[in-house]
Amino acid sequence: MTKQPTIHLNDGNDIPAIGFGTFLIPNDGSTKQAVTAALQAGYRHIDTAVAYFNEGEVGQAIAASDVSRDQIWVTSKLWLQDYGYEAAKQAIDTSLTKLGLDYLDLYLIHQPYGDVPGAWRAMTEAQQAGKIKSIGVSNMTPKIWQKFVPDFAVKPAINQVEFNPTFQQAPLRQLLAADDVKLEAWGPLGQGDQGLLQNPVITRLAAKYGKDAGQIILRFENQLGVIVLPKSVHAARIKSNLDIFDFTLTADEMAAMTALDTGKGRHDPDAPGVQGMLLGAFDVHAND
């Protein structure tokens, strides 16, 4: 297996450029099976979250793998019910226990509402204590970023947000660049948007390079410097999503892909009522 390309973060760490997402994969054995397939295919970056309810199975797959722990980048995320300093400190330890790990490579503020400053303070202390290597945020728009991040003593290394060719987050990327914060894409394939996958620009490039539409999209995003987190439970798709480093899109092809941007996504973190909707969606302590 060729060594995974990495992206250098502002805290000095190097994150694998492509990771395996586990959102909406159930904790009925499916997550362990999918993560096992991903590690076998060559992924060295696994993304989970407290609110995915599958940290335990991610940890089981890592423990059962013959890949050494220091070769796997593991991300989890803090959920809204654990924001605030004391609650976040406990939540970090709980995630480590569920995952069966001594440290996390990356830990994110999952949704940027409520006592974000208290949670961030707990995360910076956990980073200093060696429990977390890199810390970051998720779903922060420019508006939310400006509300919280200027007061952070430690700048985030990453902002994980919705990103795909039709929603390229141009204003946000410009803002993040000022602090060398990397953008990490959830939903990098447009969450199965057939209009995107069948777009003529993309299908022409797929035919030219002998790739599928998903591989063209992921390569475009990779060449932009975006960290991508494709997700699948199908072994063949898990493997093909990783096979994007044996070709390079030209400057003209990158420009044609860039022109697909509409500036609109499916999720608007700035919309009224989003915080309440997310907080009421489920309880991460329901089974404690």
Q: Could you list the active site residues?
A: 52
Residue found by looking up tokens 């728009």 in the block: 141
Give the type of residue at 29.
G
- Asked whether the beta carbons of 17 and 42 are under 8 A apart, the reply is no
Sequence length of the chain is 288
Report the alpha-carbon distance of residue 225 to residue 227 in Å, rounded.
7
Q: Report how far apart the first and last C-alpha atoms of the chain are (Å, whole number).
A: 40
- Asked whether the beta carbons of 158 and 180 are under 8 A apart, the reply is no
DSSP-based three-state secondary structure for 43? coil
DSSP-based three-state secondary structure for 232? coil
Q: In whole angstroms, how large is the CA radius of gyration of the chain? A: 18
- Asked whether the beta carbons of 77 and 109 are under 8 A apart, the reply is yes
Q: Could you tell me where the DSSP H helices lie in the chain?
A: 30-41, 55-64, 85-99, 116-128, 142-148, 170-177, 194-197, 200-209, 213-223, 235-242, 251-258, 274-279
- Asked whether the beta carbons of 25 and 70 are under 8 A apart, the reply is no
Tell me the two tokens of residue 244: 């994007």
Report the alpha-carbon distance of residue 93 to residue 183 in Å, rounded.
26
